[in-house]
Amino acid sequence: MATTLTVSGLRTHPVVAPLKYPVTTASGTLGEAPLLLIDLTTKEGITGRAYLLAYQRLALKPLDELVKALAATIVGEKLVPAELEPKLRSRFTLLGGARGLAGIAVSGLDMALWDALAQARGAPLVELLGGKARPIRAYNSLGMVSAMNAEEVAGRSFNDGFKAAKFKIGWPSFTEDLAAVRAFRKAAPAGATLMVDFNQSLSVAEAISRGRRLDGEGLAWIEEPVRCDDHFGCAKVAASVETPIQIGENFSGTFEMAESLRLRASDYVMPDPQQIGGVSGWLRAAALAHAAGIACSTHLFIETSAHLLPVTPTCHWLEFLDVAGAVLQEPPRAVEGAVTASSRPGIGLAWDDAAVKRYRVE
């Protein structure tokens, strides 16, 4: 098995995959999954794979072009993530840094680099990172819940042994939010862990008001109550509300995460692999969370997250929201409410070629 790899090229596959259930939030709806599938090729014949979520179709083409252009700058380079990831990131220094689509493009290539490297070593990514695959507790991640549909949503939310679920609130009035929480709690199995997500829909004052009134409802956390870049405002919420505050899916790299931790903007963090900087960025984020003594969960990217959480010192929860299963040969699955990393070399991603062809967009 090759131990030294050289980047030779890139193939991308822009697809729009169906979701089993649309994910409606207080800030918008994800009715389908615009994905960019990445195949990073090497001269040694190993292909590193990763995927990115563009959220909207209109972002898929520019993301595709950006990833391809960025990959062209490392063709012929030895595959050493510790050298290539900062080189990729440096391309955007004069553009204000690797943020937004630029940061997502860097993250996607970084994940593909690590996948290829682990394959070359004949090991699952988690083992390359110094860990061992183990079941990681997961929660079922859901869309908006109201008092009217709580029983129906809860009824299908605890399949596959899930013992925890997160659902969206942020209705026009707190009365509606509270009714949704209580209706879902009533319909959920006894002892179930419940989290709620406002998806940045509240002002700081309203977040404090609603958060305080939710304090007696036994929620494990309240997620993204205010605008994602208002860390100072979120710190006010965290200091004023007893229920733990969870943020992090929109940390645009670890410098932003470090600033958030400095301000004590939340009680927990949940970085997103495509926003935080791929595998390389995640390792830095996990170290920051460890140093701060803050529990660290993942956001989306089930397949990669199952490899990353076992090497995260303050490992907390894995979010189970399957956005890519429709184009994978082996979609992620939960067993007794937990997810275990693939035992295949690398991340374990393999495209379903027929599905990729079916859902491909130009």
Give me the active site residues, please.
Answer: 168, 299
Centre a 10 Å sphere on the Cβ of residue 250 and count the other Cβ atoms it contains.
17
Contact (CB, 8 A) for 278 and 85: yes
Q: Vertex 223, ends 289 and 135: CA angle to 5°?
A: 60
Contact (CB, 8 A) for 115 and 48: yes
